Amino acid sequence: MKRNLLLLSMIALAFLLLIGCSSNEDAGETNEGESNDNSSENASENDADEQIEISFSWWGDTGRHEKYNEIVDLFEEEYPNIKVDRQFGGWEDYWDRLTTQVSGGNAPDVVSMHQFYVSDYARRGALHVMNDMVDSGELDLSDFPDAALNSGKVGEEIVMVAKGITMPGYVYNTAVFDDLGVDYPGYDWTWDDFVDKAYEIKEAMGEDGWAFEDGSGGQLQPRFRYFARQSGQDVFTDDGKLGFDEQVLTDWWTMWDNMRQDDVIPDASTSNEYEGLPLEANMFATKKVAILGLPANQMYLYEEQMGEGEINIVRHPHIEGGPNGEYIEGAYLSITEASPHKEAAAKFIEFFVSNEKSVKIFKTEQGPPAGTEASNLVMEDLTPPEQRAVEHIQNTVELSEPAPYAPEGINEVETLFADNAEAIAFGQKSVEQAVTDFMSEARSILGE
């Protein structure tokens, strides 16, 4: 157990150092002079008799909703004068809704944040700078290693607090593969292995399903970002420009289009039918596909749901002879600049990431906790799939390299990416036309 605790602490420090190194200094001017604007409004929050309400939003599935609701229930018991309005939904809906809320001035007081999007929201002045709160102890993060604290910075400003850090991969259920008579994928497989395994699975499944979900579109990361980084590029450059060329995108969309046309992955209509369904109804949990791209921290949910076999995870496929694609992913909490209850929001964040009962509910829900004491607490209670997830994080974090923060306009670029991928899937555009359209419009959005 001591060895596990030490390994986890080393991992946390290593990946958070990597993230800290990738902080974008360009956003250092964001929110300057705004951090104390609401101090007078928050003064009454020291009064335990003053009833206030804050709002908190997160993304996830049914299992995460249950855990987070438990944590919020505990917080409301600890602070009976603070009621928490809870807003949650799936990953894609979450970011669409948050963008609308920020634009409308009605964003939740506490929002879940991701390092891929934080720079965009910070540059828009949507996130509260928490340096003064942390320095004064109002938001006590004294248990966080410096690297953990720095991972929440954009430039020199603390705009988010780490809940947990994770690494993605592709997961499979051993029982499903055993029933199909197909060998498990190798841990260090290539994209050629990935395509070969797809055709092997499809042949074994026949009309009952497909190898994978269609991974051609959606978000720019992690799948396409790994592919771009393995090609010696990235989705963005350090100065906020598009980081990949036409050939990389052509190779990516061509690979997926070929598998779609051969019925190895679902057609566009089927993909749309299953998009956004809860975990228990999605294509992997219902065995319509045999492999799923997934953050390691979610493995246990599928093992609980499917009830047979083990959920194992392998690395993202790589390009033979190319660089690694790994970079650190995680989940964070931020206070929005428009919040009238920043003091209460800080109390909530501190409770979420450091209260003993809270972290024992959270465990590795979005990766091991960042705080040293919190991470030690959860290691004592990990289930077998959670242990396999930590092992995967251990294996892949050593391969990680810093990745540039996404620039302002990331949401528009991602929508453009998803729309063009879908146009290919529905036969409305050729790969060549979609690549030309995307590159032209994306460069325009990013001011190139």
114-135 pLDDT per residue, tens: 988 898 899 889 999 999 999 9
Q: Please report the pLDDT score of residue 89 as a whole number.
A: 86
Assess whether pLDDT exceeds 90 at residue 276: no
Q: Clarify whether residues 193 and 221 are in a common domain.
A: yes
Assess whether pLDDT exceeds 90 at residue 146: no
For residue 202, the one-letter residue type is K
Q: Please report the pLDDT score of residue 46 as a whole number.
A: 55
H helix or E strand, kind and range, residue 58: strand 52-59
Q: Distance (Å, rounded) from C-alpha 81 to C-alpha 50?
A: 6
Confidence at 269, pLDDT banded by 50, 70, 90? very high
Arithmetic mean of pLDDT, 72-93: 94
Count of domains for the chain: 2
Assess whether pLDDT exceeds 70 at residue 174: yes
Q: Distance (Å, rounded) from C-alpha 336 to C-alpha 264?
A: 44
HSE-up (13 A, CA, CB side) for residue 138: 17
Range with lowest mean pLDDT among 250-264, 265-279, 421-435: 265-279
Q: What are phi and psi of 292, to 5 degrees?
A: -140, 135
Assess whether pLDDT exceeds 50 at residue 84: yes
Helix ranges (H only) for 105-245 are 118-123, 131-136, 146-150, 174-180, 191-205, 223-230
Q: Clarify whether residues 318 and 345 are in a common domain.
A: no
Q: Using alpha carbons only, what angle is made at residue 335 by residues 333 and 337, rounded to the nearest 5 degrees?
A: 150
Q: Clarify whether residues 65 and 159 are in a common domain.
A: yes
Q: Clarify whether residues 319 and 222 are in a common domain.
A: yes
In a domain, 33, yes or no: no
In a domain, 108, yes or no: yes
In a domain, 239, yes or no: yes
Q: Please report the pLDDT score of residue 341 as a whole number.
A: 97
Q: Please report the pLDDT score of residue 204 as a whole number.
A: 98
Q: Clarify whether residues 151 and 201 are in a common domain.
A: no
Confidence at 103, pLDDT banded by 50, 70, 90? very high
The CATH number given to whatever domain includes residue 76 is 3.40.190.10
Q: Clarify whether residues 117 and 255 are in a common domain.
A: no
Helix (H, G, I), strand (E, B) or coil at 157: strand
Provide the percentage of residues in the chain whose pLDDT is more than 90.
66
- Please check whether residue 21 is in contact with residue 238, taking contact to mean a CB–CB distance below 8 angstroms: no
User: What is the domain range of residue 268?
Assistant: 169-326+404-446
Q: Clarify whether residues 280 and 162 are in a common domain.
A: no
Q: Which residue has the higher pLDDT, 295 or 329?
A: 295
In a domain, 39, yes or no: no
Q: Please report the pLDDT score of residue 377 as a whole number.
A: 86
Arithmetic mean of pLDDT, 266-281: 92
In a domain, 6, yes or no: no
In a domain, 393, yes or no: yes
Q: Clarify whether residues 153 and 109 are in a common domain.
A: yes
Q: Which residues contact 65 (CB under 8 A, 6 or more apart)?
A: 88
The conformation of residue 407, written as its DSSP 8-state character, comes to P
By the 10 Å C-beta count (0-12 exposed, 13-18 middle, 19+ buried), 288 is classed as: middle
In a domain, 408, yes or no: yes
Arithmetic mean of pLDDT, 254-270: 98
Confidence at 370, pLDDT banded by 50, 70, 90? confident
Q: Clarify whether residues 191 and 85 are in a common domain.
A: no
Q: Clarify whether residues 418 and 293 are in a common domain.
A: yes
Q: Clarify whether residues 302 and 340 are in a common domain.
A: no
Q: Clarify whether residues 209 and 298 are in a common domain.
A: yes
| Mean pLDDT, rounded, of the chain | 88
Arithmetic mean of pLDDT, 203-223: 95
In a domain, 9, yes or no: no
Q: How far apart are the first and last CA of the chain?
A: 52
